[in-house]
Amino acid sequence: MFERCSKSWRAQRSEPGGGADGDDSLYPIAVLIDELRNEDVQLRLNSIKKLSTIALALGVERTRTELLPFLTDTIYDEDEVLLALAEQLGNFTMLVGGPEYVHCLLPPLESLATVEETVVRDKAVESLRKISQEHSPVDLEVHFEPLVKRLASGDWFTSRTSACGLFSVCYPRVSSTVKAEIRQHFRTLCSDDTPMVRRAAASKLGEFAKVLELDYVKSDIISLFTALASDEQDSVRLLAVEACVSIATLLPQEDLETLVMPTLRQAAEDKSWRVRYMVADKFSELQKAVGPEITKNDLVPAFQNLLKDCEAEVRAAAANKVKEFCENLPEDSREQIIMTHILPCVKELVSDTNQHVKSALASVIMGLSTILGKDNTVEHLLPLFLAQLKDECPEVRLNIISNLDCVNEVIGIRQLSQSLLPAIVELAEDAKWRVRLAIIEYMPLLAGQLGVEFFDEKLNTLCMAWLIDHVYAIREAATCNLMKLVEKFGAEWAQNTIVPKVLGMANDPNYLHRMTTLFCINALSEACGQEITTKQMLPVVLKMSNDQVANVRFNVAKSLQKIGPVLDSNALQTEVKPVLEKLATDTDMDVKYFAQEAISVLALA
Amino acid sequence: MSAISASEKVDGFTRKSMRKAQKQKKSQGSSQFRTQSSLVELSPLPQLKDAPSTEQQDLFTQKLQQCCMLFDFMDSVTDLKSKEIKRATLNELVDYVSTNRGVLVESAYPEITNMVSTNIFRTLPPSENPDFDPEEDEPTLEAAWPHIQLVYEFFLRFLENPDFQPSIAKRYIDQRFVLQLLELFDSEDPRERDFLKTILHRIYGKFLGLRAFIRKQINNIFLRFIYETDHFNGVAELLEILGSIINGFALPLKAEHKQFLMKVLIPMHTAKGLALFHAQLAYCVVQFLEKDPTLTEPVIRGLLKFWPKTCSQKEVMFLGEIEEILDVIEPTQFKKIEEPLFKQISKCVANPHFQVAERALYFWNNEYILSLIEENIDKILPIMFGSLYRISKEHWNPTIVALVYNVLKTLMEMNSTLFDELTSSYKADRQREKKKEQEREELWKKLEELKLNDTALVQNNSHGLQNAQNNNNNNNNNNNNNSNSHDNQDKSTAVGVSTDIQDPDITTATTESTTSAK
């Protein structure tokens, strides 16, 4: 194959009228051929990734007549190279001469669409879908549709799987005879022998239904949908659930009951938890698609069952949807349905045996308070919140705390504060630093909702304790947290409560804590303003320039650079400059570097 | 919660082993979807052996029906009495079908398959541990095992009963039944998979009509495993069954079987968990090659295509499989693949991971491989020499260096003239390679420039282009000068006579463009 191409390259070369132009534009393909022969995959990959460069250099005509045939012939290679090729070809329309010639790209992509490796095949299909849009209706029928047919009737399952993704892109723009053929092919693939093909067809069923005329949706799609939804393999059945959403959206309300609901009911009670999981996971979409009446009659009991499912996986997926489901219930009966049907299930889930179920519920349960209003929240939801705040699993508590704002709007946070505090304190000391980090991030929000008094009394010590945490990420977050608090409570509050404590740490024996002082100053100087910065912070920073640890000294230089803009020019010249100059002659090279950087940034040279 | 141990204070991450230990506690799961809302308590039936022979059949059926009742084993306190009755009944049934003759009357078949299906066919539960590592983690065991085990036992005895008649059973043990049985191979419980393996083997042996179907479904399971899920617990068991199935294939091999080898078994080597089933997989591959030696070339090329790039552990397994193949290879087949194969082996020998290098060097301890190398020393020595020579000086591991010296010595003894030639030209060859490498980089740089120029001035002759042209030609010339002789031969045979005519053209083109550049 290589030989064939290099031969034509040589032949071209010896053409009498070939001239300099011919030689030059032929040169890139020679490089490519040489590189594609290389034993090193990486080099082959590099050359394929630069395919557009080569095509550009060749010009459109030679790209069509030489490069593309060459690529089509040499398609056997490592999957990684093929993947790169499949991707490149999707963007090649202009390089072969625009939409008029786009069909030249079909042969190599067709071969790629039959490769075993899924990523290659998917990429080839993606590229084919992309370039299908650039075909004129005529070209679509002459070139593209035959390709789809060939793939759909291929021997090996790979080509048939690829075909499934191509029907919907060509269907809208072809004649009615061809449309009939396409429908027939799709039907065949839906009952293919190989489960892989049926899965591919099932996953494209919704997409295909969207481009079909309504009559055909009713006559063709529904029967395919019903068949796939009762396939012997659960991996096929669960994909039909996804299609159910699109199909239900397309059909008029009066047809849903007879055409879709029997299948959906069956899916919600499928013996495989995977199918039931899928129903739970798509519940909000399904609810919107079938409308309020069916929701009331059918989906409410189905949802109750999913919330009580024997498989934790399914319960967790359903618990995740509780808020959305309730929100989308028809307004006239919403409260009644929630109170009598949903809430009892929710109550049970609060003490579920599985922590994933509980934490899924905790992430949405607070949202119910806005729907149910103040009285119901106080009477029914509050006990649940309080129970979850005491849950043994930190994730559950955290999810409750992170959604406090919803409750705050309805009943105010005071109701919760008694239980909140122990929960926060415990999370603040959790063994997992990610949990601690998460709770720190909610501190500014909590502070805002609980008020300065409550904060000073209960939470301030926690915030200061995080500054000396043994994990850097926590100390960093704690610093940032202080800044946000100051923005909320003002400079005066800062001066009285946190600044003295922060500055006190400058004398800590642990150099990491001394550095934390500097980091806090970096974060706080702007929020605290010029006066506090100059009078209280600056002296401390300057004093630390004599620290025996080099890391502290170069952080002094960095801090000075950071707070410089907040200071007045007098302080800069008389106090900062001498210190930086001294640091610039430090024995440590990093200290020198940062001191010099600060001098130049602050223009003190 | 608030009590944090000192070790955790220091290290925010809990150790993997500690997390595992916590997990281990609840390593039981059950997946029987409990639809029965209210359980009826079982009451014991009289013993089969005490019943008069006329009533035995009826009693047998009743007992089978009784065993269709399912119990929740996750709850260890409920239904204790009924659970015990079912267990005792199952035991009795096992005993009944394995010791008595003439008990398998036609009417018993549907009852038996029904009881078995009800008990064992279920959707397997989600894995307790989403990142379950079969090599390290304890598997989740089936909680209902005290019953399920006896059901499997009973089914196996039923299949092995001398009175068992496949012609009757095939009405009940059909494609649907087999499909559900195959799905159970994904069970995390190794005890269950072991039973399934024996049962499937029996079914394959007794039901000729199901054989093609079983093979096809296994095919589908494997393809899904390779390309879609990357997860299936029973791969090793299925491969073990296939090993003996392949053994029984008639010659010449059907296209279907060859396709299975090339499109399923070979790509299976790419799986993440290869270590779990590599022994069985390699056995299947070697079985194929023993049946039909002409498959050797495509198989080895396939393995080379999927050769692991980053996983040393897998590379060692691949080398092991290659050795197994070489053990049975025919000398004529060896000649067909020696070149690509030894290029790979030479890379492995030079691998910085000493286990990979060591595994490859062990090939030289194999008498048969050694004899194949000796026969083809003129081809193999030039391929191997560079790597061996280099690592004999550079490898960090003294054991490897010692092994390499032995290998070099062996090779030298095989053809000392060639060895001396290669030694003396080693340095020059390396330098030539380096130069080639530099030129290649230059080329790509020029090509980039060309792209820029092309976008700026369409179809305009620039100097960059001309220079690139020169470089390219130089490169070609170099290739011609130093490339291995067989390379040239290949080319001339493929291109045929025309090469002779066209080659001078290139030279002219070169001189022309050089002059025009100047």
H helical segments located in A40-194: 41-49, 51-58, 60-62, 68-73, 79-89, 106-112, 118-132, 137-139, 145-152, 157-164, 167-170, 176-190
CA angle B432, B438, B441 (to 5 degrees): 145
- Mean pLDDT over A568-586 rounds to 89
pLDDT in tens, A348-391: 999 888 889 999 999 899 888 888 888 888 888 888 888 888 88
Residue B29, pLDDT score:
57
The band of A110, judged by pLDDT with boundaries at 50, 70 and 90, is very high
Q: How far is B127 from chain A (nearest CA, A)?
A: 10
B235: Cβ contacts below 8 Å, ≥ 6 apart:
B222, B225, B268, B271, B273, B276, B277
Name the least confident of A290-299, A417-426, B168-177, B433-442. Answer: A417-426
What is chain A's mean pLDDT, rounded?
A: 86
Q: List the single residue in B with minimal CA-CA distance to A76.
A: B305
Contact status of B310 with chain A (Cβ, < 8 Å): no
Q: What are phi and psi of B306, to 5 degrees?
A: -95, 15
Q: Report whether A202 contacts A228 (CB < 8 A).
A: yes
Nearest by CB: A24 against B443, B451, B461: B461
Q: Which two tokens stand for residue B494?
A: 């493929």
> What residues of A are in contact with residue B31 (Cβ under 8 Å)?
273
Q: What are phi and psi of A598, to 5 degrees?
A: -60, -40
**Quick one: which of B351, B440, B155 has its CA closest to A50?**
B440
Q: How far is A211 from chain B (nearest CA, A)?
A: 28
Cα dihedral sign, A234-A235-A238-A239: negative
Q: How far is A152 from chain B (nearest CA, A)?
A: 19
Question: Beta partners for B28?
Answer: B141
DSSP for residue B68: T
Q: Which of residues 149-208 of A touch B (CB under 8 A)?
A: 156-157, 194-196, 199
> What residues of B are in contact with residue A312 (Cβ under 8 Å)?
126
- From the centroid of its chain, how far is CA B92? 41
> What residues of A are in contact with residue B448 (Cβ under 8 Å)?
53
Q: List the single residue in B with minimal CA-CA distance to A426.
A: B2
**Quick one: which of B66, B86, B68 has its CA closest to B147?**
B86
pLDDT in tens, A521-548: 999 888 888 888 888 889 999 999 999 9
Q: List the single residue in B with minimal CA-CA distance to A391.
A: B1
Distance (Å, whole) CA A572 – CA B55? 108
User: Can you tell me whether residue B28 is helix, strand or coil?
Assistant: strand
Name the least confident of A85-99, B9-23, B179-193. Answer: B9-23
Distance (Å, whole) CA A450 – CA A434? 24
CB atoms within 10 A of CB B347: 15
Residues in chain B: 518
Nearest by CB: B33 against A25, A46, A310: A310
Name the least confident of A125-129, A285-289, A372-376, B297-301. Answer: A372-376
Assess whether pLDDT exceeds 60 at residue B105: yes
Q: What ipTM was reported for this prediction?
A: 0.73
Residue B30, pLDDT score:
55
**Quick one: which of B279, B241, B281 has its CA closest to B261?**
B281
Assess whether pLDDT exceeds 60 at residue A26: no
Q: With the CA atoms of B207, B209, B214 and B217 taken in that order, what torsion angle do they form, in degrees rounded to the nearest 10?
A: -150
Partner-chain contact A23 B505, CB within 8 Å? no
Contacts 24+ apart (CB under 8 A), A544-548: A544/A506, A544/A514, A544/A517, A544/A518, A545/A579, A545/A582, A545/A583, A547/A511, A547/A514
DSSP for residue B307: -
Contact status of A37 with chain B (Cβ, < 8 Å): no
Q: Report whether A580 contacts A595 (CB < 8 A).
A: yes
Q: Which of residues 141-160 of B touch A (CB under 8 A)?
A: none
Assess whether pLDDT exceeds 60 at residue B500: no
Residue A439, pLDDT score:
85
B80: Cβ contacts below 8 Å, ≥ 6 apart:
none
Q: Which two tokens stand for residue B347?
A: 């890379």
Domains, chain B, in order of start with CATH, read 43-125+139-206 (1.25.10.10)
Let me know how many helices (H) and strands (E) chain A has, helices first.
Answer: 46, 0
Cα dihedral sign, A118-A120-A124-A130: positive
B507: Cβ contacts below 8 Å, ≥ 6 apart:
none
Q: How far is B4 from chain A (nearest CA, A)?
A: 6
Assess whether pLDDT exceeds 90 at residue B348: yes
The band of A14, judged by pLDDT with boundaries at 50, 70 and 90, is very low
pLDDT in tens, A219-240: 889 999 999 999 989 999 999 9
Residue B184, pLDDT score:
94
pLDDT in tens, A68-95: 888 887 766 788 889 998 998 998 888 8
**Quick one: which of A400, A295, A294 has its CA closest to A342?**
A295
Name the least confident of A160-164, A384-388, B154-158. Answer: A384-388
